[in-house]
Amino acid sequence: MPAIIDPVATIELAKRVATRPTWAEVSLTALRQNFRTVQKHIGSGVTVCAIVKADAYGHGAVECSRALEEEGVRWFGVTSLDEAIPLREAGIRGRILLLTGFWRGEEEEIVRLHLTPTVWEPGQIELFEKAAARLSAKHSVHLKVDTGMGRLGASPQDLRHISAALKSAAHLVVEGLSTHLASSEILDAPSVAEQLQSFEQVRQFLRNEGIDPPLVHAANTGAVISRRESWNTMVRPGIALYGYFLPFERAGREVSGSGLRLGVKPVLTWKTRILSLRDVRANQALGYGGIYVTKAPARIAVLPVGYADGFNRALSSRGRVIVREHYAPIVGRISMDLTLVDVTGLPGIEVGDEAILLGSSEGLSVDAREHAALANTVLYEILCGISKRVPRRHVS
């Protein structure tokens, strides 16, 4: 008679047993400090809406939101209802803003969970008004206007219709007004000033219509750092909370300065362990396609991490890791589950030694900005791309 497998017990065993030594450590201490740094920078009179969408940019939305709420954050920004539900289930009591609105049929659940949707079309306002009326509830919404990003938001030309719809919605309260800046990291981009001017005109129009929301927000991380005039009464930092911001540019060239820095520190460290060590001869091709060939005898460490974990394939034969306080270059193509690094001449290397994929040690550092530059992408993609099969360990 075949053995009977208990699926519940199997799942619980999988949760307890770390079968693959590749993980990401998320410092909640650093996260809390980054929030305090942002709040100090903007002052106590401006509300922070902490952006925790995309699983807090790959850092773990529930755990990060808990730490931030304990630190005093009152607003959280997520993409949609499906990202908000786990936060409520985890006991997050703060306000949650749905940045991309809602799908038809989600309205009543949004009301029940006390979530705040973003709206920009009369049809959305009508749907949400009906849901609030059915549940006999007054409910807050944030109106988004498109001042030049060209994605979501009401156009200034549609404001008269939007205003009429909002004023006729007896169960809705317009608590917020928002827009999104397209080029906040480009210091000489004329579009930013144009967007802010358009936003102010929208705000004045709505005031004249009797709509004057207390929460007005346009600033993302870049604008939080560089454009004080965009702060209004609320800001929406995302990547700064996790220890990064994009480089600032002027006339297509990167610029820096004390006024363009924020003292935040990366929150996430990504680690693995050496799975195997191999001594190879000179002229040995390594990995798929043999794109890397050793020039001399070499010692190669095999790491149990690959592009299925989000370790970007563009780092093949270009990136580096940190092993025993030394840089070790990636050699050959990164494969789905494995990566090769050259540890020739490094002292005391053993199977089981830690390798830092993202992070720092003894003055050495490999961060998401470096990965992004090598992969010709943005650091957001590097962090969000760390896959679900890499467990997050949240530490204080």
Taking the C-alpha atoms of residue 113 and residue 27, their distance in angstroms, rounded to an integer, is: 29
pLDDT band at 251 (very low <50, low <70, confident <90, very high): confident
Task: Please say whether the beta carbons of 266 and 359 come within 8 A.
Answer: yes
Q: Check residue 203 and give its pLDDT.
A: 97
Which helix (H) or strand (E) segment is 175 a member of?
strand 172-178
**268-395 matches 45-259 in CATH topology:** no
Instruction: Residue count of the chain, please give it.
Output: 396
Residue 233 scores a pLDDT above 70: yes
Reduced to 3 states (helix: H, G, I; strand: E, B; else coil), residue 35 is: helix
Q: Determine phi and psi for 51, rounding to 5 degrees.
A: -85, 115
Within 245-391, strands assigned E span: 248-250, 253-255, 268-273, 276-280, 285-286, 292-293, 298-303, 320-323, 326-329, 339-342, 354-361, 364-366
Residues of the chain with pLDDT > 90, as a percent, come to 90
Checking 161-168 for CB contacts under 8 A at 24+ apart, the result is 161/122, 162/120, 162/121, 162/122, 162/125, 163/205, 163/206, 163/209, 163/211, 164/122, 165/122, 165/125, 165/126, 166/125, 166/211, 167/209, 167/210, 167/211
What does pTM read for this prediction? 0.93
**Domain parsing of the chain, residue ranges:** 45-259, 268-395
pLDDT at 26: 98
* Cα–Cα distance list, 197 to 176, 187, 203, 216, 390 (Å): 18, 16, 10, 14, 44
For the chain, counts of helices (H) and of strands (E) = 12, 22
Q: Alpha-carbon dihedral of residues 223, 225, 229, 232, nearest 10 degrees? A: 80
Tokens matching residue 88: 């409520």
| Domain covering 268-395 assigned CATH 3.40.800.20 in the classification | no
Q: In the prediction, which pLDDT does 236 show? A: 98
Catalytic residue (choose from 40, 138, 167, 288): 288
> Can you give the pLDDT at residue 13?
47
Q: Beta 364-366 vs 326-329: how paired, if at all?
A: unpaired
The residues near 269 (Cβ < 8 Å, ≥ 6 apart) are 24, 25, 27, 356, 358, 359, 360
The average pLDDT across 89-105 equals 98
Residue 12, pLDDT above cutoff 60: no
Out of 3.50.50.60, 3.90.1150.10, 3.20.20.10, 3.40.50.1360, the CATH code matching 45-259 is 3.20.20.10
The active-site residue out of 53, 242, 271, 292 is 53
Q: Contact at 8 Å (CB) between 283 and 329?
A: no
Q: Write the pLDDT tens digit of every residue in 272-303.
A: 999 999 999 999 999 999 999 999 999 999 99
- 25 or 19: which carries more pLDDT confidence? 25
Active site residue 53: yes
